[in-house]
């Protein structure tokens, strides 16, 4: 078990450094637009269709509520009174509304036709007019797609509404602890189980094209030595093809085969291996199996994260004696290595933002983990959480507007819960995504 202990030592040793110029939690503010999502008009609907329409509107409003840092969703005094058929843009303008969304629901047999219009009230322009088919058994996926289309018409950018989150949970644990891989909608709904190892799955990561997931599993193996059979544990790396549902072994070398991420190209991965002694980060070609050493140091280097261009990597290392965050150019061995974290006693799980300008991570401060973000150059440190349990394993949304993370709460001396939460990038907690689902770990975002 020496190789497992070496990984944990990195994560739990202490440091005496502190980082200056920390921006306080909640210090940043942003002006918001006033948005109205009006009640729909109905045309020839039966009772079930009306209920479906109202459920659709509830999901749409809930989706937009995540972007409260952009939109102040307000109710309008004339809501539901023919705003789709007879829009009164001048009146909305007097009410201080910035964007107005109106809809009409029409009978479509077992489904409904949902017609939407979006107005930019300040410019008095209709910026979207589109019809969607909404089916009962596809309600949530249809609703998220509609919400994304509405959002894009206003902002010109994609939303998180079609995204999913995969994560680990110990909810199937019995006498032995188990962690399996799950996936859910961005809002915590429609949870599906992806693995059934009856073991401990760790460190999931998605490919750039959203077709494969890398993860590691603690495997028990038989080893014959001098006619004796020994059972040993090893951390093996797997790849899960989401289309074919096939799982293959990528690396099962003795020791750690974990912390793997995809490179800018889906055939290239970066992973931590310890077969040569201490833990180092390697580049591997999934097609040829060819490897190249990226870090080469007597300290342990683990948990890489890569920017979109593939020319800057952040990773965790105990080079200073404790676990802190470094950056480097991964295209050569030990190129431009730079330590960027000095906050807290030790750090964990550094993750790049989508555009690669920021890194979010957890740090042991005040007897617990809290979340911080920092510029990729080591400047502009911002504290994101405080007095909100012990917070770990942050990850940015695909649009960079949000961060998901796990938060551990002590319920009693013998009981603790660990759930997944979502905040915006400024540290405003927006909600809890998992509940009564065991202890949850390692959430990651995908555009599946």
Average pLDDT of 369-385? 97
pLDDT digits (tens, 9 = 90+) for 129-166: 999 999 999 999 999 999 999 999 999 999 999 999 99
Ranges of CATH 2.120.10.30 domains, the chain = 2-27+163-446
With a pLDDT cut of 70, the percent of the chain lying above it is 92
Q: Which of 299, 331, 330, 333 is nearest to 316 (CA)?
A: 299
Q: Residue 357 to residues 207, 241, 284, 309: CA-CA distances in angstroms?
A: 20, 30, 25, 11
Which H helix or E strand runs over 213?
strand 212-225
pLDDT at 414: 77
The helix (run of H) or strand (run of E) holding residue 192 is strand 192-193
Residue 78's pLDDT is what?
A: 67
11 pLDDT above the threshold of 70: no
Q: Would you say residue 8 has pLDDT above 60?
A: no
Here the tokens at position 268 are 């290239």
Range scoring the smallest mean pLDDT among 4-8, 94-98, 276-280, 328-332: 4-8
Q: Which contiguous run of DSSP H or E holds residue 34?
A: strand 33-37
* Average pLDDT across the chain, whole number: 91
Give yes or no for residue 443 having a pLDDT over 70.
yes
Which strand (E) or helix (H) includes residue 72? Answer: strand 71-73
Give helix then strand counts, H and E, for the chain. 4, 30
Residue 10: the pLDDT is 41
Joined tokens for residue 274: 């310890």
Which CATH architecture is the domain 2-27+163-446 placed in? Answer: 6 Propeller (2.120)
Measure the CA–CA gap between 397 and 12, rounded to whole angstroms.
Answer: 27
**What's the rounded mean pLDDT across residues 397-422?**
92
> Which pLDDT tens digit goes with each residue over 196-251?
999 999 999 999 899 999 999 998 877 777 777 778 889 999 999 999 999 999 99
Mean pLDDT of 309-331: 96
Q: In the block, which residue shows the tokens 């617990």?
A: 368
What three-state secondary structure class fits 268?
strand
CATH code of domain 33-155: 3.40.50.10070
**Which part of the chain has CATH 3.40.50.10070?**
33-155
């Amino acid at each position: 078990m020496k190789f497992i202990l070496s990984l944990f030592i990195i994560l739990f040793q202490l440091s005496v450094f502190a980082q200056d110029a920390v921006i306080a939690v909640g210090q940043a503010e942003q002006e918001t637009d006033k948005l109205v999502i009006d009640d729909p008009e109905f045309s020839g609907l039966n009772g079930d269709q009306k209920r479906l329409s109202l459920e659709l509107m509830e999901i749409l409003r809930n989706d937009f509520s995540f972007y409260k840092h952009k939109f102040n969703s307000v109710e309008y005094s004339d809501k539901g009174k023919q705003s789709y058929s007879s829009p009164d843009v001048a009146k909305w303008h007097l009410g201080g509304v910035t964007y107005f969304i109106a809809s009409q629901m029409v009978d479509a047999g077992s489904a409904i036709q949902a017609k939407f219009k979006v107005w930019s009230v300040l410019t008095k322009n209709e910026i979207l007019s589109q019809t969607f088919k909404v089916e009962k058994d596809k309600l949530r996926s249809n609703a998220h797609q509609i919400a994304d289309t509405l959002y894009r018409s206003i902002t010109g950018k994609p939303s998180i509404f079609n995204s999913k989150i995969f994560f680990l949970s110990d909810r199937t644990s019995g006498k032995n602890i188990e962690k399996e891989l799950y996936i859910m909608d961005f809002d915590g709904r429609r949870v599906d189980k992806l693995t059934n190892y009856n073991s401990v799955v760790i460190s999931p990561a998605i490919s750039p094209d959203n077709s494969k997931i890398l993860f590691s599993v603690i495997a028990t193996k038989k080893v014959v030595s001098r006619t004796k059979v020994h059972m040993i544990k090893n951390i093996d790396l797997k790849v899960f093809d989401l289309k074919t549902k096939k799982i293959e072994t990528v690396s099962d070398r003795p020791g750690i085969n974990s912390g793997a991420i995809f490179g800018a190209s889906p055939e290239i991965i970066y992973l931590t291996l310890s077969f040569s002694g201490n833990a180092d980060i390697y580049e591997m070609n999934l097609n040829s199996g060819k490897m190249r050493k990226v870090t080469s140091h007597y300290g342990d280097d683990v948990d890489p994260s890569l920017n979109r261009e593939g020319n800057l990597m952040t990773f965790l290392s105990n080079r200073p004696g404790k676990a802190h965050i470094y950056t480097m150019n991964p295209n050569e061995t030990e190129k431009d290595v730079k330590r960027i974290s000095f906050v807290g006693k030790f750090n964990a799980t550094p993750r790049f933002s989508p555009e690669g300008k920021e890194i979010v991570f957890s740090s042991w401060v005040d007897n617990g983990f809290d979340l911080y973000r920092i510029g990729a150059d080591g400047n502009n440190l911002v504290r994101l959480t405080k007095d909100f349990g012990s917070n770990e394993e942050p990850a940015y949304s695909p649009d960079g507007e949000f961060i998901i993370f796990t938060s551990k709460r002590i319920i009693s001396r013998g009981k603790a819960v660990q759930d997944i939460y979502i905040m915006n990038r400024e540290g405003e907690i927006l909600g809890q995504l998992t509940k009564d689902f065991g202890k949850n770990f390692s959430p990651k975002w995908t555009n599946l």
